Structure 1
Amino acid sequence: MTMQYALDNARATASPMLDCLSEILDEETTGLLGGLPLVPTGRYWVPAAGNGSVARWLARTLGPTAEVVASDIDPRHIPPVDGLRIVQRDDVADGPLPGGWDGIPLRLFAAHTSARRDLVHQHAGVLRPGGVLVDQEWGLWSGFVQHSPYADAHDVYQHYQEALRAVFDARGNDATWSVKAAETFEAAGLVDVRTTVSARSWPGGSPGCRLVTVVAAELRDQLIAHGADPVLLDRLPEIMHDPETVVIGNATWTTVGFAPA
């Protein structure tokens, strides 16, 4: 089984989209990882790495004594850096890279494949004793327009989010995965499992708002095919780039679990 992700790294919109995702999520992801007992001589693998920002952070933080691998079905957006090995592979169809790993951070990955439960079990199975599996996903709550000078801003944004959900659902995404991940972690034998949920506001023109316009541009045809009104899609850039618009972004669900020591 391969990952049926709706977005495409080969598109011109891929690089700005991945950069927005990094700007939105990296502070939380690296803050979490930095609070874990990282092993300076350990092995860390970042599947579906996107632009490799998390893997690059691990390589910089741990230095040359660690092994850090970033893999992606299309790794063209991962720049080479010292201490990072880049691998092109289908991280769903090809199964996990051979263990053992001291840490495997998954981000916006598991929810996009129908094999998500098997994915967790497989990745848990290649952790070293005490190794950590992290899963970060956006869940059911996709945020809202907190305030805007445009009277229709809330309705336009919600209209886009509903069409986007329909596009992702058609590709096998499970928007409820974020609330199921912890149970799956425990079923896979991981311990000390915990989940945190966070969201923040984004002013117009910031990464959280730019992401909306980039994704809407890339998926325009698919969004329209799933019920989006092209007139409302055309309203998004003006609303999302206005500095007086403020959006409460998607809720990020982060689940962490450890292989028994």
Structure 2
Amino acid sequence: MRRLEGKTAIVTGGGRGIGRGIALRLAEEGALVAVHYGRRRDAADEVVRTIEDNGGAAFAVEADLESVDGVHRLVRSLDEELATRSDSRHFDILVNNAGIGTSSTFEETTEDMFDGLFAVNVKAPFFLVQQSLSRIRDGGRIINISSGVTRIAYPHIMAYNLTKGAINTFTLHLAQLLGLRGITVNAVLPGIVDTDVNASWLHTPEGRKHAEDISALGRIGEPSDIADIVAFLSSSDSRWITGQLLDATGGSHL
């Protein structure tokens, strides 16, 4: 039996990159997957089609997470979609993956840039979990996608790094809050992963060599590397792990 058979999972930012890999992997384990997207409906639909073509179940759901109103819209849409499929608005797994980055240095960062990063990367997960407390089943799983930049200093993207530090703190306190319900909360901290976000610099000889050289394993991370970790944390195999920050950088900068 697949480890997530009968479970329902929500993956924010599930249409592209790491989120896409996670959505595909959770569906492979038997979960019904809600693939959230912000603007790229085509990408989310492609993920849903791929899941269904492989015998899984999924649906796409849209919401702009730049505001709390968007979070409320996502929750309402999930309620409606889930009710048509299972006659219940409850779910088991929430993966807070959606996020935005920046190419602005510390000196170049404006207040609007700073606020935008925190809105999507911190405020949205905070209020999405808050709104989900009555919907996520006891014994459920919350997995937050953080970043290796909380361990490795990259001061040129400091504002982004601060948002991931906040997610780590959120993970710790949420695990304590929800522990008695059997809900585990953990964060996964990826390093450099081969996604379209990184393609412009990673797919150059210099960029590839840099990424390979800083990893103890001597290679670049793939979305599947992160997705497999999330699948483990989503399953009963991880039942005794909570409040943890799992470094998934391939041993970068050890």
Distance 1:57 1:85, change over 3 A: same
The offset of 1:53, in angstroms, is 2.5
- Structure 1: 5+ residue stretches without partners: 1-33, 144-157, 218-235
Q: Greater strand share, 1 or 2?
A: 1
Equivalent positions of 1:71-86 (< 5 A) are 71-74=36-39, 75-78=41-44, 79=46, 80-81=49-50, 82=52, 83-86=57-60
Q: Greater helix share, 1 or 2?
A: 2
Partner of 1:104: 94
Question: How many Å separate the matches in 1 of 2:97 and 2:175?
Answer: 15
Equivalent positions of 1:186-225 (< 5 A) are 186-187=176-177, 190-191=181-182, 193=184, 195=186, 207=194, 212=198, 214=200
Question: How many Å separate the matches in 2 of 1:67 and 1:173?
Answer: 29
2:64 corresponds to which of 90, 93, 102 = 90
Question: Residue 130 of structure 1 aligns to a residue in which SS?
Answer: strand
> Normalized against structure 2, the TM-score is what?
0.51
**Paired-residue identity, %:** 14
Do the aligned partners of 1:139 and 1:178 also contact (CA within 8 Å) in 2? no
Q: Deviations over 1:168-193 (max 9, x none)?
A: 37xx8353321331202433565464
Cα RMSD for the two superposed structures: 4.2
Partner of 2:15: 50
Do the aligned partners of 2:174 and 2:185 also contact (CA within 8 Å) in 1? no
Equivalent positions of 1:146-225 (< 5 A) are 161-166=154-159, 168=160, 173-187=163-177, 190-191=181-182, 193=184, 195=186, 207=194, 212=198, 214=200
Do the aligned partners of 1:121 and 1:188 also contact (CA within 8 Å) in 2? no
AA in 2 matched with 1:131: G
Question: How many Å separate the matches in 2 of 1:192 and 1:43?
Answer: 14
Question: How many Å separate the matches in 2 of 1:94 and 1:115?
Answer: 6
Partner of 2:32: 67
Partner of 1:239: 206
The offset of 1:114, in angstroms, is 2.5
Question: Residue 207 of structure 1 aligns to a residue in which SS?
Answer: coil
Partner of 1:124: 133
Q: Deviations over 1:18-40 (max 9, x none)?
A: xxxxxxxxxxxxxxxx8xx52x2
Distance 1:199 1:130, change over 3 A: closer
Aligned residues: 175
AA in 2 matched with 1:239: E
Higher relative contact order (CA 8 A, sep 6+): 1
Equivalent positions of 1:26-41 (< 5 A) are 38=4, 40-41=5-6
Q: Name the larger-Rg structure.
A: 1
- Structure 2: 5+ residue stretches without partners: 80-88, 100-117, 240-254
AA in 2 matched with 1:240: G
Do the aligned partners of 2:10 and 2:95 also contact (CA within 8 Å) in 1? yes
> Normalized against structure 1, the TM-score is what?
0.50
Partner of 1:138: 147
